[in-house]
Amino acid sequence: MTPEPSFLNPSFAGLIGVAQEEINPPMGIYARNWGAAKKDIASGIHRSLTLTCFTFQSAADEQPLILIGADLGWWKNSEYEVRLRNRLLEALSLDTSRLMFCLSHTHAGPGICPDDSDKQGGALIEGYLKSVEDIALVAINKALGKAVSAILSCDYGKCTLAVNRDLPEPQGSRIVIGFNPAKCADDTLLVGRITDTANHNIIGVLVNYACHPTTLAWENELISPDYIGAMRELVEALTDAPCLFVQGASGDLSGREQFSGDTALADRYGRQLGFSVLATLEGMLTPGCLLAYNGVIESGASLGMWKEKPFEPSSVVNSVTELLNLELKDFPKLNEIEAELDICRDRVLKERLWRKRCIRKAIGDGETAKVPVWIWTLGNVVLVGQPNEPYSDFQIDVRKAFPDHAIVVGNLVNGSIGYLPPTHLYKEDAYPVWQTPFAAGGLDHLTRITVELIKNMT
């Protein structure tokens, strides 16, 4: 006989805490994120930057998993990222596997690299980073202090905001960063709804979507979370709950129009994503319920009936960190890059060399690099975090391997290093290929190890 079918939203039941704080920088801070930019400091704030924290525990006496989403760009200097993360871990006596600090990757944020201290507004960076550390600790402690019995339920949706951004240059031989209408993009959206078990009120919303926040570029003079700000405003207004954003595997994805100075465009993109989040929330089952086949009613047709029935979500929590050994391509040594920097007078080229220097400092001068990946399992919800910018193939392939789980995939988690493009792209003259320090095959290696780790944990 055919077994009776059922359907459920991947879920976790336990103690969940939620907190949110503003992390707006001081005016006058260094905020030049584009080689083409003419100004080094912002003239104001478009929308507030936020830091949102969710904590997860099976029981009050267990160490929590701490998920932080912050409206910041990327870590140019790995030393300061490690310093911030270690301070949080030490203050809370946590194992390194139990914290994911996720950057939204806005390209309109303040500088977070104290190596830029000699630039206009750079003297404010060190103090700002210290304030972010302090605010993160406040948010974590608030979330833990407010933790309640709750259910995290997840579902996949769709949003057409993201497009492929590897454009073969017309009348040229390069791949440039721009909308490629000839290639489809991964439009997968994952939404996590946190509801208290007492009243089923929404107390937090997790949004995982892959799309580069590069709407606002060199013509923009305002600090901004890019499209994430308007998305968050819309979702929070209609759920009355903090929204935490995790940037997905967006190495090849962005909005159609980008590199703009128009904040209205970023807001429009944010509302596009926000309405998709709300639509996904509306389609989810009642917390703690599955949809079960409920027999046949004979009418004008034979009608197969489905009905919600209670089930007990898992409260099992696991976390692991694994170091991957990734091969490096032919990439200049630190002293070679610094020698080029000393004689470079071109503003754009100097910015590229500066970023290359930061990458080499992060990975060291060896022929391989140790790169971490974090895996959490919360019931049948899985969170994957890593510091690079893999192409969307990564999230597609990992999710395909685990169709019965909800897989949250995070880029720029606990660090920032380089792109992980697919092997076939390495024969092209493309920015992600010449930016990355990693040799061809790094994306495949990350995918293989991630799938193996999840299999061992589920």
Collapsed DSSP state (helix, strand, coil) of residue 44? strand
Q: How far apart are CA 147 and CA 302, in angstroms?
A: 47
pLDDT exceeds cutoff 70 at 1: no
Q: What is the pLDDT of residue 348?
A: 73
Q: How many CA atoms lie within 13 A of 436 on its CB side?
A: 31
Q: Tell me what the mean pLDDT of segment 39-64 comes to.
A: 96
In the chain, what's the furthest Cα-to-Cα distance?
83
Convert the pLDDT of each residue in 158-186 to its tens digit. Answer: 999 999 999 999 999 999 999 999 999 99
Collapsed DSSP state (helix, strand, coil) of residue 78? helix
The answer to whether residues 114 and 5 touch, using CB atoms and an 8 Å cutoff, is: no
Please state the pTM of the whole predicted model. Answer: 0.95
Q: State how beta strands 65-70 and 50-57 pair.
A: antiparallel
Q: Tell me what the mean pLDDT of segment 331-338 comes to.
A: 80
Report domain extents, the chain: 9-287+380-412
Convert the pLDDT of each residue in 179-233 to its tens digit. Answer: 999 999 999 999 999 999 999 999 999 999 999 999 999 999 999 999 999 999 9
Convert the pLDDT of each residue in 384-394 to its tens digit. Answer: 999 999 999 99
Q: How far apart are CA 392 and CA 407, in angstroms?
A: 13
Average pLDDT, the chain: 95
Closest CA to 290 of 308, 312, 266, 269: 308
Instruction: Dihedral sign for Cα 16, 17, 18, 23, please.
Output: negative
Provide the pLDDT confidence category of residue 85 given band limits of 50, 70 and 90: very high
Convert the pLDDT of each residue in 119-153 to its tens digit. Answer: 999 999 999 999 999 999 999 999 999 999 999 99
The answer to whether residues 451 and 401 touch, using CB atoms and an 8 Å cutoff, is: yes
pLDDT exceeds cutoff 90 at 395: yes
| Rounded (to 5) percent helix, strand, coil in the chain | 30, 30, 35
Convert the pLDDT of each residue in 241-298 to its tens digit. Answer: 999 999 999 999 999 999 999 999 999 999 999 999 999 999 999 999 999 999 999 9
